[in-house]
Structure 1
């Protein structure tokens, strides 16, 4: 026992500031990784892996040779299997890292333009909700939606409530897909979105709601859904769907999300260079 405590004391004495930094970085990576897979099917897999890792040394110490052989071989081939099965979760994690590491280019920077665009969207949604016109609108943020817009019809039109309402008029060519808004422009309409693979969502939700959740799981886009059955307005953000928005509540939450994301954006290299040049000029 004394030898054990002596070893711990020696280890603590030899810890440097870089060792502490290393531990903190690794801890942060594990924490963010867990938050990304929390409440997903990957969380259950992680629990299974931890159980296997615990059983391997136990089976070895108890000389359960057959169990030890099976578990060790399972771990050996399990890494490739995990990559194949959980490719969507891995992609989502890498996209999340990319969003947080580099600046977005699709969030409106001007307050007046942002307020106008949000007002037009909210007006259209409110009118369609009253008329029970089904709608699916995705507001692009830092994750580019080029793959999504490419399967729809390109518009590149100024955002207006009248145009948005006209797009979703029943039996028109573009009403059954999603409309993508990039900056202050309607980029495309009639786009097909990926459906969520989450089996725990409400079974009463239709294809539009499942598509909204699916896109929000794979990007940081803000997706608005209007139910054609009830007129209920829903919002999908970061894989979560919230419902029953009225005009004022929807406008407030959209502005809050977009302004908050804009304030946290990371400056591009170009902006940093410009700022550095500006400082040099001031010093001169």
Structure 2
């Protein structure tokens, strides 16, 4: 009865600000769920919600022992959540942290975009034809200095010839990823974080998993050339699309970069959309 009285009193005290509060909290929970969807944390989240629902039910049915156990579980679980959800919390904060006040535009004009992307796609086309494995990361608004530090710094002009030369098999720098910052090749032989997404095909190797991994924790555009098949793939926002031609790859890269350069995105819009760009393969 006490529980029912609390509910009735709450309903009576609802006003416009209460509705706004409920909508805001619901929106936040929805976005958190979308962030955790299709991750290992999703099943854990469902278990936590079940425990939370069982607490008032056990209290209503006067199941005192069960209610005590569930309450203690929640108390201890608060600290556990921070540890368990550490990768997801970090990912969410990185998304929110890309505010309009800290973003920098990598490419300022269409001509620069066209020239740089043309050089990259030309190299990718030649690497694909020779079935030479490659991993090229184009830095966007999320800084990749920590990734650059893991490789060998080059700071050279972005050219097809240099990119092709870097990925020549059995050369000292061909392993790892090339990171392109602005219009220059910042470093090569860089190590990328591997994705833990179980939906990635088992037929794809470490190179593809690394490409998805860096796109999950940043807004970088990552191009992959398969060493076995020569297939060209692209990883953006944790999504991998494959079988690109040179023309199609160039068009989608230019489209994404121009979109991100021209669109003024506020922090609120970032929280709402998580800066997801849909790519049609």
Per the TM alignment, residue 67 of structure 1 is displaced from its structure 2 partner at its CA by 1.8
- C-alpha change, 1:177 and 1:100, in structure 2 (3 Å) is same
Structure 2: how far apart are the matches of 1:176 and 1:10? Answer: 65
Per the TM alignment, residue 23 of structure 1 is displaced from its structure 2 partner at its CA by 4.2
Per the TM alignment, residue 10 of structure 1 is displaced from its structure 2 partner at its CA by 5.1
Q: 2:107 matched to 1:90?
A: no
Match of 1:257 in 2: 256
Structure 2: how far apart are the matches of 1:54 and 1:89? Answer: 23
Match of 2:58 in 1: 59
Per the TM alignment, residue 197 of structure 1 is displaced from its structure 2 partner at its CA by 1.5
Alignment of 1:70-81 (within 5 A): 70-81=69-80
Structure 2: how far apart are the matches of 1:102 and 1:230? Answer: 43
Q: Is the 8 A contact 2:36 2:42 kept in 1?
A: yes
Match of 2:42 in 1: 43
Secondary structure in 2 aligned to 1:154? strand
CA deviation string 1:253-272 (max 9, x = no partner): 111111111122459xxxxx
Q: 2:230 matched to 1:242?
A: no
Mean alpha-carbon deviation: is it higher for 96-105 or for 239-248?
A: 96-105
Q: Is the 8 A contact 2:105 2:261 kept in 1?
A: no
Structure 2: how far apart are the matches of 1:264 and 1:20? Answer: 31
Structure 2: how far apart are the matches of 1:74 and 1:160? Answer: 58
- C-alpha change, 1:145 and 1:43, in structure 2 (3 Å) is same
Alignment of 1:210-229 (within 5 A): 210-229=209-228
Match of 2:274 in 1: none
Secondary structure in 2 aligned to 1:179? strand
Per the TM alignment, residue 227 of structure 1 is displaced from its structure 2 partner at its CA by 0.3
Per the TM alignment, residue 200 of structure 1 is displaced from its structure 2 partner at its CA by 2.8
Where in structure 1 are there 5+ consecutive unaligned residues?
Answer: 268-284
CA deviation string 1:117-143 (max 9, x = no partner): 011111000110010000000001111
CA deviation string 1:237-279 (max 9, x = no partner): 1111111001011011111111111122459xxxxxxxxxxxx
Secondary structure in 1 aligned to 2:97? helix
What's the TM-score, normalizing by structure 2?
0.86
CA deviation string 1:158-198 (max 9, x = no partner): 11011000000001111111000011111100001111122
Structure 2: how far apart are the matches of 1:192 and 1:226? Answer: 16
Alignment RMSD, CA only?
A: 2.2
Match of 2:25 in 1: 26
Q: Is the 8 A contact 1:103 1:265 kept in 2?
A: no
What's the TM-score, normalizing by structure 1?
0.86
Match of 2:272 in 1: none
Match of 2:151 in 1: 152
- C-alpha change, 1:136 and 1:151, in structure 2 (3 Å) is same
Q: Is the 8 A contact 2:100 2:264 kept in 1?
A: no
Structure 2: how far apart are the matches of 1:43 and 1:235? Answer: 26
Match of 2:271 in 1: none
Match of 2:186 in 1: 187
Per the TM alignment, residue 33 of structure 1 is displaced from its structure 2 partner at its CA by 2.1
Match of 1:198 in 2: 197
Per the TM alignment, residue 59 of structure 1 is displaced from its structure 2 partner at its CA by 1.4
Secondary structure in 2 aligned to 1:256? helix
Match of 1:164 in 2: 163
Per the TM alignment, residue 8 of structure 1 is displaced from its structure 2 partner at its CA by 8.1
Q: Is the 8 A contact 1:103 1:266 kept in 2?
A: no
Per the TM alignment, residue 101 of structure 1 is displaced from its structure 2 partner at its CA by 4.8
